[in-house]
Structure formats: structure tokens, C-alpha cells
Amino acid sequence: MRFFLFLILGIFAGLYLSWPGILILRNWKCFNEIIQKSAEDKISIKAVLEVSPSDLIMRKNKKMISKIRVVADACFR
């Protein structure tokens, strides 16, 4: 039981240290907005500016986790 407590605490601490804005509701609205607009192929300027050039070059080999990371970096930092 103690192991799971430390595991969950570690996951939340790691997420908070990586993306300090993860607890703010406005940032979650931004995250959902970018996801919805990307489904319609209308990407926001903020999301485009957050993408590194190496991500643009290697765009074909994108996995779902790296797509989530890019969007989260755009909204939660």
C-alpha cells in the first residue's frame, strides 16, 4: 500500500515539475481547444510556435505520446 502511495505521489510530483500549469483550469481549456482544432486541421499559432524544428522535420514518425507532449508544452508551461 505504501508503494502505491509513493508511486502516485511521484507521478503527480513529476507532472507538476514538468508542467507547473497543469493544475490551472484555463490551461486545460487550452489543451482541449488545441486537440479539437487539430482534429479539424485548424491548429492555433500558439501550438505551432511551441513545436521545435526537429519535431517538424521528423513529423512522419510521431507517436501519440509525443503529440500529447507537444500540446501539453504549449498549454501547461
Give per-residue burial for 25-36: e unless 16+ CB within 10 Å, then b.
eebeebbeebee
Question: pLDDT at residue 72 above 70?
Answer: yes
Give tens-digit pLDDT for 5-47. Answer: 999 999 999 988 888 888 888 888 888 877 777 666 666 666 6
Helix ranges, 1-77 (H): 2-18, 25-39, 45-50, 53-57, 64-76
Contact yes or no for 65/9 (Cβ under 8 A)? no
Higher pLDDT, 71 or 11: 11
For cell 502511495, name the residue. 5
Q: How many separate domains does the chain show? A: 1
Q: Which domain does 39 fall in, by range?
A: 2-76
pTM greater than 0.85 (yes/no): no
Q: Which of 70, 32, 76 is nearest to 53 (CA)?
A: 70
